[in-house]
Amino acid sequence: MELTWYGRTCIRLRGKDAVVVNDPYPSIVGPTGRGITGDVVTYSHPDEAPPSRKATRLSRDGATVIPTSLEPAFVLDGPGEYEVHDVLLTGVRTYRDDANGAKRGRQVAFVTELDGIHTIHLGDIGHQLTEEKLADIGRVDIACVPVGGALSAAAAAALVAQLEAKIVVPMPVCEDEADCQDAMGKFLHELGSEPTVQPRLSVTMSGLPSETTTVVLESRGKA
């Protein structure tokens, strides 16, 4: 399986039989609509800005624009268990704050099983996970974790420890680049790791590390 980060919380998972895109945003495909494609699209939370009248397709919540090149894809934006294109996905209700969504709203964390590897995309989560939520999530091999959002560096590291993932992929979500660099530095310090930056992550079940490893990816898109 190959994992690519496109900025913000946009992650693309490419397996042998299908491609899953988490949290795509319109500008990643450019004005022509050519670019990132996929078979399944998941959205953890609605867009911050209201959709334009020119939007041709919206997600089920009616507030999120689906990029042109991904309009043919099957879209998921709610909790539940799904099987699409032979891909197993589990959506778990989570929140963007530690007050059950009262401050920043609800969201969904998606677990995708692709090529036998379980990847959790935590969206813009803002809290630790209960034992019940951890049971709903199940096994995690790769955790895509937001950095610089509602979670402090220590809280994000504690969340990683809860999931016991083999590979951690941080997703900087700050508006300001300097703030993101600071948040990433603190997060990596909490994890005690000094990873190298790479363009994408390619991994197989047999190639998963025995101890938790952090992989920092270059952004392939522009917010």
Q: Which two tokens stand for residue 151?
A: 């979670």
Q: How many domains does the chain have?
A: 1
Please enumerate in sequence order all residues whose Cβ is within 8 A of that of 203, keeping only pairs 6 or more positions apart, or say none.
1, 3, 117, 142, 167
Distance CA 91, CA 117 (A): 16
Residue pair 135/152 in contact (Cβ under 8 Å)? The answer is no
Residue range 7-58, pLDDT digits in tens: 989 999 999 999 999 999 877 654 444 568 999 999 999 866 554 545 555 6
pLDDT at 66: 83
pLDDT at 220: 86
End-to-end CA distance of the chain: 25
Domain of 32?
2-217
Instruction: Kindly state whether residue 163 falls inside one of the protein's structural domains.
Output: yes
Q: Which two tokens stand for residue 140?
A: 């995690």
Q: Torsions phi, psi of 193, nearest 5? A: -125, 150
Instruction: Kindly state whether residue 222 falls inside one of the protein's structural domains.
Output: no
Nearest CA to 91 out of 106, 69, 102, 104 is that of 106
Instruction: Kindly state whether residue 137 falls inside one of the protein's structural domains.
Output: yes
Question: Which pTM was predicted?
Answer: 0.92
Instruction: Kindly state whether residue 223 falls inside one of the protein's structural domains.
Output: no
Instruction: Kindly state whether residue 37 falls inside one of the protein's structural domains.
Output: yes
**Residues lower than pLDDT 50 in the chain:** 30-33, 51, 53, 223
Distance CA 78, CA 58 (A): 14
The CATH number assigned to the domain holding 56 equals 3.60.15.10
Instruction: Kindly state whether residue 19 falls inside one of the protein's structural domains.
Output: yes
pLDDT at 26: 76
pLDDT at 222: 54
